[in-house]
Structure 1
């Protein structure tokens, strides 16, 4: 007799998670928009070092302040930057604009991937030392003689349906060239082998082909206002608006570009661009770092000119004076350079060491790589400039060159400290950006009391974490911050229209005196069936 066997079935029930953790966003990703020797145009590129900038964008260039600002950013503590290269094409010659260098290997015509005279240093080599027996295949090597970078592509083909068709491979892989024109009918002839112990790139025209003089790219022209915010730029996400394709940036630098008597390092920025950049930063929850105009050669110039900068946004901050730094391209001569990159680096360094709520000023806020400042600023000068929103860079015997001011350009602000104080404004932007990203899950939830309670719980946990780090004033959480999400923020009309409103207050300067952050999300608009 066999015992009856019974099987108990189990059902796993997944309970909804009460808390959706909110992660704080980065605080010091810095965007730089301007002119560079090489690199993709109108495309935001993230970099993590100045060596990477040199490799992708060509490094320091006497005709652009961009490289020097990026160098100073990383030198002073910056960790991540977003670079947007702009390019002003040369004037046409005989109806032809030579923006890209052309490279020829027999009937195969190649074009430098990106515009600029950097492409004039390219070389190409073809060989038929194939790994396959396909008579239409060939190997292609491309070299940038300025950097030594070599790209090798094996078993390319001219066959229309071949998986290694030359134009498709170059388009998807090469950072140096792309194919120009139609596919040739026959594969290009092989270049000669190098002599024994010789270098194929140094053995002349028999072993490789360079860019012929008639195929050289012409010198690009200096940037204009239209290159940043001209007609159609916003729609195409080009110029300044190429940053629309960057997920996040916190600081924006516009290194000077306007010709100043032939000096493009000690140059200026059009006030209309400053105004538009300030408004754009408000939309992107970022801060614009404004450089003093080149005409500001004294404290009096600054006092007289601050009203004509182009913006009084609470998301913009000005730092004065310019830096005096040696420029190797000018024989080491001290040259006036914009401070935006160095200041952005100090902000990043302070964020990493103390937090976004700490003002990037004081004896620790030293400007590395800055032997002198272009204008000396005394205590009395600072007393006149700071109330106008001009943050002074000063020389202190015990500390060197330091940042000695943390005010925005916003003067008349009903919110008080939020609009006038850089760390308070940046903390508000940090909280807002973190909450916007961290509460997107409410889209899939019913917009009711249960959801509001969950939201309050999540945000309270996030704010309590900041409180424990010392971000707010007050001895107890209720003195330091509050979270409001419920019928007091979201009306029945909001619910019917799928809107959830959140208000968060934090005390940056004095316990119980709150700066408000408002976040609005779509809620209850996606239902599972």
Structure 2
């Protein structure tokens, strides 16, 4: 605030700096939407490693294309991902529908009998997510606590152990209080569990202890039966959705959570994602087609969130001629058309990899996970402005593209904006195309023909959107405009120095205009400040032409 001098002397006034650094946003966070045997069905889960995915969603599963895509993403250089699990609405005989419509498949329950013997005092633990996986949970109660009572009728605390017998994850909770007012009550202690949830109604209840285990024996090692004792309780009632997810499952219309952010729109709850992959529906291993309208919804979501959609080839694309017929003018068209196509890229063909769940038998997979990993790796090594294609984009783990092609066949598809995956001599399996789905030669507007150009623009847009929030409600006059030019110009100059733009000088590479020329008084009166940012993008050297001429008797000076 202004200083009000009252005495003769020196006053110190700290003036806020006009410099507000604009930080570039991440460029390689991938989002995967698909099916999994376990995991959250109402909120996206942010992971930073394959181990995170295994812990949250159960790892590789033969019926989940998404699990393989995420594995391939991290194998090829990916570092961060958002996972959205889609489940099919249950059949009528699988679970009772919610009052307002379909619900999710049932989650398993673990029924712990009450020490009092009364049914009303029983405690039911519920698996954290729907699915058959919860049927493999086991729970055990014992009274070997720090304040064990000599008389069981006076026991006030208990220990609880949980185990997922498929993954081996075990959780142990000691000295849980059978007192609804205690800070060690059951609902509080289990709030951090990654296996089960418990209602607050269970607080204050004492479960019955299970039979003591013989010394040195794992209580979860053997099943129940004669001579083995009642050492634990099994999960029961968990069901997987047996139907194939529908468009309503992807859009969230079948979700009992009516917040408008379910299905694929769970991604609206994330801070940012840059790439979106839809690696095939559940129950149809190898089927690349999605329910009608799903790709269009995903592409519109990417357009709104400044992200790119990596599209796998439709099932009908079995041969080069199939692709050429569909993608050429007058054909069935690419999977996406219109304005949303500039934020999407399609890659053909699928890729052959060894499947660890089938004894390393070789089969074909959708390539979106591999391609997303290559994009992320290229961003780190070269920058988002470098085309994620070429001899440096080796596809780790890929044995070969599912359909080999020649240069001439590649030359048929590339002008139609279909990016090819090739096996090249010496360098191996690589990505050999970098066009968006608006990049066909017959497109009248080629502004967004190339993937790196579009991704660089999205990066700049999102970075400036976040980095100029401080401008809102500032006095709209020259001091503000000069500050905007300073900060946006510094951000663009930093990109220029990294080699993101064409041009030898900043003047040739970019421009930032925010002054009286583009902020007339009429806009100022309406509370609008206009900032014009232009840049000269780098275009990939897609075609290399070498002219060779024979010199006959010519003398070089």
Residue in 1 that maps onto 2:208: 189
| Counterparts in 2 of 1:358 and 1:103: CA distance versus 1, 3 Å | same
- Is 2:153 the partner of 1:127? no
Residue in 1 that maps onto 2:221: 202
* Residue 321 (structure 2) aligned to one of 290, 300, 307: 300
1:42 Cα deviation after fit: 2.9
- Cα distance between partner residues in 1 of 2:462 and 2:205: 56
* Residue 459 (structure 2) aligned to one of 430, 448, 458: 430
- Cα distance between partner residues in 2 of 1:456 and 1:414: 34
- Is 2:156 the partner of 1:136? yes
Residue in 1 that maps onto 2:335: 309
| Counterparts in 2 of 1:269 and 1:509: CA distance versus 1, 3 Å | same
- Cα distance between partner residues in 2 of 1:298 and 1:223: 28
Q: Is the 8 A contact 2:310 2:368 kept in 1?
A: yes
Q: Is the 8 A contact 2:89 2:249 kept in 1?
A: no
The SS at the match of 2:219 is coil
- Cα distance between partner residues in 2 of 1:94 and 1:494: 60
Residue in 1 that maps onto 2:100: none
User: Which range is displaced more, 345-354 or 13-22?
Assistant: 13-22
Structure 1 runs (4+) deviating above 4 angstroms are 7-11, 94-98, 232-235, 411-415
Residue in 2 that maps onto 1:515: none
| Counterparts in 2 of 1:96 and 1:367: CA distance versus 1, 3 Å | same
Q: Is the 8 A contact 2:78 2:372 kept in 1?
A: yes
1:450 Cα deviation after fit: 0.7
* Residue 102 (structure 1) aligned to one of 102, 105, 109: 109
* Residue 269 (structure 2) aligned to one of 231, 245, 248: 245
Residue in 2 that maps onto 1:407: 435
1:184 Cα deviation after fit: 7.8
Residue in 2 that maps onto 1:524: none
Residue in 1 that maps onto 2:169: 149
1:479 Cα deviation after fit: 0.4
- Is 2:412 the partner of 1:384? yes
- Is 2:257 the partner of 1:229? no
Q: Is the 8 A contact 1:266 1:337 kept in 2?
A: no
1:57-136 mapped onto 2 (5 Å cutoff): 57-93=57-93, 96=96, 99-106=106-113, 107-132=122-147, 135-136=155-156
| Counterparts in 2 of 1:258 and 1:139: CA distance versus 1, 3 Å | closer
Deviations 1:374-421 (A, max 9, x none): 11222111222111110011111211111111000115767633x111
- Cα distance between partner residues in 2 of 1:277 and 1:189: 50
- Cα distance between partner residues in 2 of 1:285 and 1:153: 44
The SS at the match of 1:403 is strand
1:118 Cα deviation after fit: 0.9
1:250-269 mapped onto 2 (5 Å cutoff): 250-257=274-281, 263-269=284-290
Q: Is the 8 A contact 2:385 2:453 kept in 1?
A: yes
Residue in 1 that maps onto 2:54: 54
The SS at the match of 2:430 is strand
User: Which range is displaced more, 122-131 or 497-506?
Assistant: 497-506
The SS at the match of 1:140 is strand
- Cα distance between partner residues in 1 of 2:223 and 2:199: 24
User: Where in structure 2 are there 5+ consecutive unaligned residues?
Assistant: 1-6, 98-104, 114-121, 149-153, 328-332, 540-557
The SS at the match of 1:197 is coil
The SS at the match of 1:500 is coil
1:453 Cα deviation after fit: 0.5
User: Where in structure 1 are there 5+ consecutive unaligned residues?
Assistant: 1-6, 511-529
The SS at the match of 2:490 is helix
Residue in 2 that maps onto 1:166: 186
Count of residue pairs the alignment pairs up: 497
| Counterparts in 2 of 1:8 and 1:84: CA distance versus 1, 3 Å | farther
Residue in 2 that maps onto 1:32: 32
Deviations 1:158-217 (A, max 9, x none): 4332322213432x21111112594387511212222122112225443532326xx331
- Is 2:357 the partner of 1:329? yes
- Cα distance between partner residues in 1 of 2:291 and 2:275: 19
| Counterparts in 2 of 1:383 and 1:192: CA distance versus 1, 3 Å | same
Residue in 1 that maps onto 2:508: 479
| Counterparts in 2 of 1:31 and 1:336: CA distance versus 1, 3 Å | same
User: Which range is displaced more, 159-168 or 383-392?
Assistant: 159-168
- Is 2:377 the partner of 1:358? no
Deviations 1:111-165 (A, max 9, x none): 1111111111111111112234684322211111112211122232343323222
| Counterparts in 2 of 1:277 and 1:96: CA distance versus 1, 3 Å | closer
Residue in 2 that maps onto 1:394: 422
The SS at the match of 2:434 is coil
The SS at the match of 2:489 is helix
The SS at the match of 1:318 is strand
- Cα distance between partner residues in 2 of 1:90 and 1:454: 57
- Cα distance between partner residues in 2 of 1:357 and 1:331: 40
- Is 2:495 the partner of 1:495? no
Residue in 2 that maps onto 1:342: 370
Q: Is the 8 A contact 1:322 1:337 kept in 2?
A: yes
User: Which range is displaced more, 177-186 or 224-233?
Assistant: 177-186
1:439 Cα deviation after fit: 0.9
Q: Is the 8 A contact 1:386 1:392 kept in 2?
A: yes
Residue in 2 that maps onto 1:217: 238
1:326 Cα deviation after fit: 1.7
* Residue 537 (structure 2) aligned to one of 504, 508, 515: 508
- Cα distance between partner residues in 2 of 1:509 and 1:186: 67
Q: Is the 8 A contact 1:456 1:485 kept in 2?
A: yes
